[in-house]
Amino acid sequence: MSFAIVVVALIVMLLFSAIRVLNEYERGVLFTLGRFTGIKGPGIIFVWPVIQRMIKTDLRVVVLDVPKQDIISRDNVSVKVNAVVYFRIVDPGKAIIQVASPFEATSQLAQTTLRSVLGQHEMDDLLSQREKLNADIQRILDQNTEAWGIKVTNVEIKHVDLDESMVRAMAKQAEAERTRRAKIIHAEGESQAAQTLVNAAQALARDPRALQLRYLQTLADISSEKTTVIVFPLPLDLIKPLLDMRTE
């Protein structure tokens, strides 16, 4: 009788030890006698001791902080760049069978890809085209991690650290660019003003009465000012007879 009780107790313990509970975001990669026999979960599953072994995988998005990398841009500028990578396991079987440590492998691949991609661009591109660079790095990582059952969903470049000398040089360059634009705008304004004056002179030359009206308007403007000296400009056609009499 006692032997039967012991056997029943062992069977019950065996059944309880075979029960596994997986959360909604977890999957179990099942091996039977060393061979891959499927992916289980979520919920309650049975793993028979000794015969079967299960490795749990997490399907949630993993945030990987890529440490700062020393990068030399295409125009020979040395910078330090770090980034963050978002990825998740989409095929638990490949993630367990194809690679020993999927997180470490993705981290190392992200570092080398970051250096490779950014090293092909100039310094200005690193600062002004981050969205394009993020997309390029994400695409390359996703292509390489597909065989591991990993999906890279997003890559973001966080910081681009420059040397103090490079920061000063860029500040001087920006100041020179602003000065150049200001001079161009000023020159364009002078050109437009000169063209406007030419158009006005041509309009006045076509009708002498318009010139006389403008002359009278100028006298009215001068008379409204508080001044003790008023200079009256005289047209040459008025003083020309006087000059001719003097020469005679």
Shared domain check, 162 and 66: yes
pLDDT for residue 202:
72
Residue 136 included in any domain: yes
Shared domain check, 68 and 26: no
CA distance 167 to 160: 11
Shared domain check, 86 and 50: no
Residue 206 included in any domain: no
pLDDT for residue 181:
82
Residue 123 included in any domain: yes
How confident is the prediction for the chain on average, in pLDDT? 81
Shared domain check, 79 and 6: no
Shared domain check, 146 and 77: yes
Shared domain check, 163 and 67: yes
pLDDT for residue 161:
83
Residue 218 included in any domain: no
Q: What residues form DSSP beta bridges with 57?
A: 27
Residue 238 included in any domain: no
Tokens of 14: 């065996």
Tokens of 169: 């040089």
According to the 3-state scheme, what is the secondary structure of the chain? CHHHHHHHHHHHHHHHHHEEEECCCEEEEEEECCEEEEEECCEEEECCCCCEEEEEEECCCEEEEEEEEEEECCCCCEEEEEEEEEEEECCHHHHHHCCCCHHHHHHHHHHHHHHHHHCCCCHHHHHHCHHHHHHHHHHHHHHHHHHHCEEEEEEEEEEEECCHHHHHHHHHHHHHHHHHHHHHHHHHHHHHHHHHHHHHHHHHHHCHHHHHHHHHHHHHHHHCCCCCCCCCCCCHHHHHHHHHHHHC
Residue ranges in the chain modelled with pLDDT below 50? none
Peptide bond before residue 49 is cis, with ω within 30 degrees of 0: no
Structural domains counted in the chain: 2
> Do the bridges between strand 78-89 and strand 62-72 make them parallel or antiparallel, or are there none, so unpaired?
antiparallel
Shared domain check, 93 and 160: yes
CA distance 136 to 114: 10
Shared domain check, 82 and 147: yes
pLDDT for residue 246:
57
- Residue burial 52-87, b: 16+ Cβ < 10 Å; e: rest: bebeebebeebeeebeebebebeeebebebbbebeb
The parent domain of residue 109 ranges over: 62-167
pLDDT in tens, 182-203: 788 888 888 887 788 777 767 6
pLDDT for residue 226:
63
CA distance 139 to 144: 9
Q: What residues form DSSP beta bridges with 150?
A: 89
Residue 220 included in any domain: no
Residue 231 included in any domain: no
Shared domain check, 129 and 86: yes
Q: What residues form DSSP beta bridges with 87?
A: 62, 152
Shared domain check, 155 and 93: yes
Determine the angle formed by the axes of helices 208-223 and 164-206, rounding to 10 degrees: 120
Give the CATH number of the domain where residue 114 resides.
Answer: 3.30.479.30
User: Last residue of a domain, which of 115, 139, 167?
Assistant: 167
User: Last residue of a domain, which of 57, 73, 96?
Assistant: 57
Residue 195 included in any domain: no
pLDDT in tens, 80-115: 899 999 999 999 999 999 998 999 999 999 999 999
Shared domain check, 97 and 22: no
Shared domain check, 163 and 66: yes
How far does CA 158 lie from the centroid of its chain?
9
Is there a contact between 152 and 145 (Cβ–Cβ < 8 Å)?
A: yes
User: Last residue of a domain, which of 118, 148, 167?
Assistant: 167
